Chains A and B, each alone.
Chain A
């Protein structure tokens, strides 16, 4: 028996089983070998590895989180304004891109805040934008106090998806400033560089995984919405957006950062669906990443004051005369910012399975395995889903429906 033949066929068998394969398993004896199959032409390095399956059952949903994305139709507010003798540098309105753009946006805000060489800086809010702004200011030498009404894990940030999605609901294309694409690109690239040191650390604060996109219909065709899902309510706003295409898209500008989607040929597709492709997905493990950020803030001498603000004029009474304002969605009511629109988002969480190390999208449902749980999110209706909906109550039926899509898919795997 040719040694290369054995290696190829044992790997092909592992891939066909879809799960449970292990490099330590001894190759089967020659007499037990199945009939020879056509040898895959997929390079060895690109074959889909054995995949563990999610135990997708609705009774394993142990948490459901609802957030309001702080979407701003004009794109994030990075303006500077004066309140009395206090300089306020805004840093809010990052929609579904806050975790991704935070470091780049913080860098821009801190550069403005440091223009007068202040020794002390106040940061309002301690979501992902507030924390990264505070640390960036500290790294630049400032003493920072965060004023906040909530701390991790109770900030809205932690109710997000937490993936690298840098242009997810970041603006309405028609309302963003003409140069926003340039600003966005600079922000995204700066964030990407700042996230790099968090890869490979204990607890995987930031990590990569394969993301499989599965479909019953050829790629590019719209995925029909499950008829059991209620239709979107009639728009409660006038004007844009009327469709997902109205949202600003900028990711072509940074296409060089991530691998191109790769179509899985039938001999390299372990999923029980006709069409599959694979990309790489960066994501954030909230618990460890949040812990690291908070620890660095304190290690650098940062202070936190628990308080709420009800009027911009209150900022003028703070001892710090330079403020980086990161209130997230609260800016709508606090600053009466009419460009702020809530976009409801809900994530369901299945009990963690460390052996599941990938993400998957199928029939408008996305699954992403994280260290603190397996996130399942319903994506039907695209970017219009949840627009101008500020209902933060849990919709369990939606979460269960999403889990059942994964459950049905996984029930079709046939171990060989």
Chain B
């Protein structure tokens, strides 16, 4: 009975298009490199070269994760796009902001992949702080 439900859930996921997550390699190394340069030019003065922030400026690693994870990546992207850089908010292009977001993901130890992060479609990418457990296949589900 349980196996039947798992199959139904998997079928539903396939029908709706399974959402990717930040652990699925949603940016490329080359993009993160570009993002690194853009970050140093536009963000590093406040957030620091190592993203650790200051007493007043929030870090982009560590406690950054519980504050921003748990939703989809477009939430963080929209904030970066409209509120940052603090001194001239909204001044960077969507492509540059996507590169910076890729660099932030890399700095938080999310794996890179083969496809670049695009400003479009970020709503379909979950921002998971912890790597989700692999969905059980029919074979290993049955073995338990």
Contacts and interface: CB of A to CB of B under 8 A. Distances in A.
Interface residues of B, number: 19
Contacts, number: 38
Contacts of B82: 333
Contacts of B75: 310-311
A393 B67 contact: no
Chief secondary structure at chain A's binding surface: loop
A337 interface: no
B127 to A, nearest CB: 11
A353 interface: no
Contacts of A311: 75
Contact of A392 (B57, B63, B66, B83): B57
Interface string B95-129: 00000000000000000000000000000000000
A307 B66 contact: yes
B130 interface: no
A156 B44 CA distance: 20
A149 B53 CA distance: 14
A159 interface: yes
A391 B79 contact: no
Contacts of A332: 83
Contacts of B76: 310
Given A149-B67, A307-B66, A390-B86, A333 B79 contact: yes
A391 B68 contact: no
A391 B84 CA distance: 11
A393 B46 contact: yes
Contacts of A391: 86-87
A306 B67 CA distance: 8
A332 B57 CA distance: 17
A390 B87 contact: yes
Interface string A382-404: 00000001111100000000000
A182 interface: no
A306 B64 CA distance: 12
Contacts of A333: 79, 82-83, 89
B56 A392 contact: yes
Interface string B54-84: 0111100001001110010001100100110
Interface pairs A-B: 9 shortest CB-CB = A308-B67, A391-B87, A333-B83, A310-B75, A390-B86, A390-B87, A392-B86, A333-B82, A149-B67
Interface of A: 65-66, 149, 154, 159, 306-308, 310-311, 332-333, 389-393
7 contacts: A149-B67, A310-B68, A310-B75, A333-B82, A333-B89, A392-B57, A392-B87
Given A392-B56, A392-B87, 9 more contacts: A154-B55, A154-B56, A310-B68, A333-B79, A333-B83, A391-B87, A392-B57, A392-B86, A393-B45
